Chains A and B, each alone.
Chain A
Amino acid sequence: MTEPVGKSKDILLQASGLAKTVVAPGGELCLLSGADLTVSTGEVVAVVGPSGAGKSTLLGLLAGLDAASAGDVQLFGQSLIGMDEDERAKLRRGRVAFVFQNFQLLPGLNAQENVQWALELADIPSPSDAARTALGQVGLSERVHHYPSQLSGGEQQRVALARAFALSPQLLFADEPTGNLDQATGELVMEVLFELRDRIGCALVLVTHDMALAARCDRRLTVRDGQLSEGA
């Protein structure tokens, strides 16, 4: 792993007073409130907390996947407030990548194509070669033509890792990447994830409830009852 990166480096992501409320049958429900956060270049941040605490909500707001009810998010120095969905998508393009708990591969595409479309979207040259190289880096050279339904859970998640790292992103969001995997497979996947992150040096926001994983990160943030705090 590279040296821990402190707040003094270039700031990629900054959130202040971030809140999310939704309308529920019993009235307004607060999912997150008053969250402040900064993530700098190459920094590895773990977000931990019990189920339903608001971890995924925070990740969605930070990545601009969802709009905040209050507060501001600055991504690559640009405020997401006031941006429409397309503008936020363009801001992420080629610079932000994701790894999800349920892999989120496109079922109609084989492993190589699942990596390739993301590279094409980011205008990366020779996307098919780059996709095959990325799959080779996660140990799936022999399975490039397999469809998601023909791959195990661990293999699917490695395809998702290849898709994320092939972009050489500046910022990677990982939402419970081992949540759907058994322990041994989960450990293997996390080894690959950390190895590739070290090689590329991107910032990582890792949502997890695995404290051992969180311990491998530079910083740890805890979400509990919609409140974000530094530390365990």
Chain B
Amino acid sequence: MNIWRELRRAGELRVVAAALVVAVAAVSTIGFFTDRVQSALNTRATDLIGADMVLSSTSGINADVTQKLEELQLQQVKLVQFPSVALTEDDDSSLIAVKVVAEGYPLRGELQISDSLGGTARVADGVPPPGEFWVGGRLLSELGLQVGDKLQVGELLHPITRVIQYESDRGGSLFQVAPRVMFNNADLEASGLIGPGSRVRHSMQLMGEPEDLQTLRDWVEAQEIAGLRLQGLSDARPEIRNALDRVGRFLGLAAMLTVLVAGAAVTVALQGLVQRESDAAAIKRCFGATQAEVLGQLFHRLGLVCLSASVIGLLIGFGMQAVVASAIGQWFDADLPAPGWTPVFAGLATALITLVGFGLPSVLRIRQVPVVRVLRRELGAPPAAAWLVGGAALVALALLLLWQARNVLLAGLVLFAMLAAVLLLALCSWFAAYLARHWPNKLRSGVPFGAAALARRQGAGLLQVSAFGLGLLALLLLTVVGGDLLENWQRELPQDAPNMFLINIQPEQRDGIEQKLKEASTGPIDLYPMSRGRLVSINKTLVDPENYVDGRAQNLARREWNISSLAQHREDNPIVAGEWWTEEQLDQPLFSVEREIAGNLGIEVGDSLTYRIAGEDYSGVVGSLREVTWDSFKPNFFLVATPSWQAQLPATYMTSLRLPEASQGALIASLVREFPGITALDVRAVIAQVRSLLDSGSAAVRYTLAFTLLAGVVVLIAAVQASAGERRREAALQRALGASRAEVRNALLAEFAALGALAGLLAAAVAVVVGQLVSRFVFEVSMPIDWSLLLIAPLVAAVGVAAAGWFAARSVLQTPPVRVLNSEM
């Protein structure tokens, strides 16, 4: 049997095929993409860390460690990395990520460079010689520079001689905010960029025999050297792995929404198909075919449809993953490898599970078609039990969710959320249909007749509105509400919010900088001392990250905190427990801890805390807990101490200020020239970077959810098709009784427009409510309700659904009424 002809002639099979194509395309788009990323991470593990093992620390590699490395005769290359500011000869500036390298870098993998922006990449045969900068292409684009131009970084003024195309140990440079500048270790001291308390990461790339590396690992773990991190091949870039794993899972779950909607289409279409096939089944049985043979023939056809749809879906998925990869492409420096075969099998499995889970109970009904239907057409297969259809679909969906989420709780939550959304939409559309049914309506033709049809076809209407509404809801939530949230977050920043941060100010630079800033800025200038230390004990009990269940608390116990001091209480940091220190207490070792971090670590007023700062332990007592508004863009700290306590610590200074935009560039240039070690952060640039990262992430999700909307359209077509017979009869009767073509057409369009408007209105209403809840309770941003959504979404959906429904049901008008009425005799 020719499957293409089958598809041409049987509308239900076309819908099943379309639903499976959309489901497979959605799942395989994500599958292909995550497979490429995983494969990049797995195959380039050595590339990712650029060595067999890397030791790193913010406070430098101490002498004991260096001695141990010598002892084990491991090959070593030293790296220093930190943020800074680059300045052009035209006083344009940019935040940069500096990497200072020594001969031998990288130990594994390669560094690729070119002679110009966009030039042919080649493997570098060394590192930048002293007196030269090698920079990332993005810096050249951002500052409008070319190879040969001079750049100032700290006190260094060197020419750019090469463009970096690929750094092996940068691998997936996730959340790469600043472009790279690389220079030789011999220039580090002259740069004046490193001072006590600077935000610097010192690393040591290592290469050697596996047993020596293991010996080193055991030794480092036994020594428990504070702040020293060790990365081997197996734990290469865990932050990238975790982040991408999460992104992959999230996108996978979004794809599951598509599968759910596509599954609904499969259920509706197969119910229609079984209805249509009932005659054929009865006649075949009449001529001697067994139940198994009839069922087998149907399975055979569906199998072919499933396979063909899977292939098409996989091809679309393969194409779309390239689009997703390019949307998130800025997260990566290098091209991703080609995907493997796993997503192909995953796509096939999705199609099969969707078809079986959502369609099998309907298909099995074909066995129950009574043979005597050939004589008495009113006898058909009994409808599949609702619990069986729902149960099978639920099992299929749960299986798919579990597979994507790889976490029972997460899969359960998503399943619950999906079902809740479906139920809510179904309940609302049932209520709307109920109202329509009981609305006084004296006109029985044309538009009112069509709108009332929604109430007449209640079951199909419920499904249509729910499934289409679900697709629309997903899209609205992400695009409109998500966009609004970001806009409002930015709008919430006060007009006088600082637009520049200066960090890494050395104590001897403090007065000079303060003077210069006072001249340039209209507001007051507050310079805060800043030290970095790790919390080692609470009330003399050692802090062990493993003792905390909460991941955030574990992280806080492991990392270094920014510590500052204040004499006077700042009003934007309200005290929520305890008291701010008095004048008399200023010489005592007292702390004020941020409320949330205190809650995470179980810190209370009166507790004694000990911090390890530059190898020494310093203690104090918690006098108060403070509330901090982090997105005010003012300097804020987890721990604020009395000034006398901080005076004993090594510290740099930081400040934030608001500068007129016109003078900002010139001021940064002059500050960096005069005080080379400082780092200026342009807040607008950071917001722009964050926004761009969020945009690229949400673009990827939008592509996935576009499939959901497409699946919603397929459900709509399936449902229209399922009620096409009824519609055709109604139209024929209307026309036989004197209704004009225009009246019948208007009734049809009104029915679909009403359906679209209802789905659009419900989706918009739910999106608004969810958006408000998320903004208030998750992002803690007050977002005004966008009432226009309640008008625009129903309007757009009404027009879209009317067009799609008209396309699916246009044959109703083209069939002469007499033929329809005769065929029903």
Contact = CB atoms under 8 A, between A and B. Distances in A.
- Interface residues of B, dominant DSSP: helix
Contacts of A1: none
Interface string B203-239: 0000000000000000000000000000000000000
Given A59-B375, A118-B287, 9 more contacts: A65-B375, A66-B372, A89-B288, A89-B290, A92-B287, A97-B287, A98-B287, A104-B286, A121-B284
A80 B98 CA distance: 90
Question: Looking at A65, A94, A96, A175, which has the most chain B CB atoms within 10 Å of its CB?
Answer: A65
Contacts of B289: 89, 93, 121
Contacts of A118: 287
A26 B755 CA distance: 41
Interface in A139-198: 167, 175, 180
- By CB atoms of chain A within 10 A, which of B282, B286, B290, B376 has the most? B286
B315 interface: no
Interface in B371-400: 371-372, 374-377
Interface of A: 56-57, 59-60, 63, 65-66, 85-86, 89-94, 96-98, 100, 102, 104, 106-108, 117-118, 121-122, 167, 175, 180
21 contacts: A60-B372, A60-B376, A66-B370, A66-B372, A85-B291, A85-B371, A89-B290, A89-B371, A90-B288, A92-B286, A96-B287, A96-B288, A98-B287, A104-B279, A104-B283, A106-B279, A107-B9, A108-B6, A108-B9, A117-B284, A175-B375
A217 to B, nearest CB: 20
Give the top 6 A-B pairs by smallest Cβ distance, nearest first.
A93-B288, A66-B372, A86-B290, A65-B371, A56-B375, A92-B288
A86 B289 CA distance: 8
A144 B375 CA distance: 26
Nearest to A173: B286
B338 interface: no
Contacts of B282: 104
Interface in B240-296: 279-280, 282-293
A60 B375 contact: yes
A36 B9 CA distance: 45
B4 to A, nearest CB: 12
A65 B286 contact: yes
A122 B288 contact: yes
Nearest to B283: A104
A121 B288 contact: yes
A16 B370 CA distance: 23
B10 interface: yes
A89 B376 contact: no
Contacts of B292: 86
A192 to B, nearest CB: 20
Given A102-B377, A108-B10, A65 B287 contact: no
Nearest to B294: A89
B263 to A, nearest CB: 25
A94 B371 contact: no
Contacts of A56: 375-376
A59 B286 CA distance: 12
B300 to A, nearest CB: 13
A60 B10 CA distance: 30
A93 B285 CA distance: 9
A95 to B, nearest CB: 8
B822 to A, nearest CB: 9
Contacts of B376: 56, 60
Contacts of A85: 285, 291, 371
Contacts of B287: 92-93, 96-98, 118, 121-122, 167
Nearest to B286: A98
Nearest to B297: A117
Contacts of A121: 284, 287-289, 293
Nearest to B370: A66
Contacts of A97: 287
Nearest to B291: A86
Nearest to A113: B1
A96 B288 CA distance: 8
Contacts of A91: 288
Given A106-B280, A108-B9, A65 B374 contact: yes
Contacts of B371: 65-66, 85, 89
Nearest to A175: B375
Contacts of A65: 286, 371-372, 374-375
A170 B300 CA distance: 31
Contacts of B284: 117, 121
A96 B371 CA distance: 14
A199 B279 CA distance: 30
Contact of A94 (B286, B288, B374): B288
A90 B375 contact: no
A52 B136 CA distance: 90
Contacts of B279: 104, 106
Nearest to A153: B822
Contacts of A106: 279-280, 283
A90 B440 CA distance: 57
Contacts of B293: 121
A65 B375 CA distance: 9
Nearest to A118: B287
A86 B280 CA distance: 16
A23 to B, nearest CB: 14
A65 B376 CA distance: 11
Contacts of A104: 279, 282-283, 286, 374
B781 to A, nearest CB: 57
B54 to A, nearest CB: 66
A122 B372 CA distance: 20
A92 B286 CA distance: 8
A106 B279 CA distance: 8
A78 B486 CA distance: 79
A20 B745 CA distance: 47
B823 to A, nearest CB: 9
A63 B286 CA distance: 9
Interface string B298-326: 00000000000000000000000000000
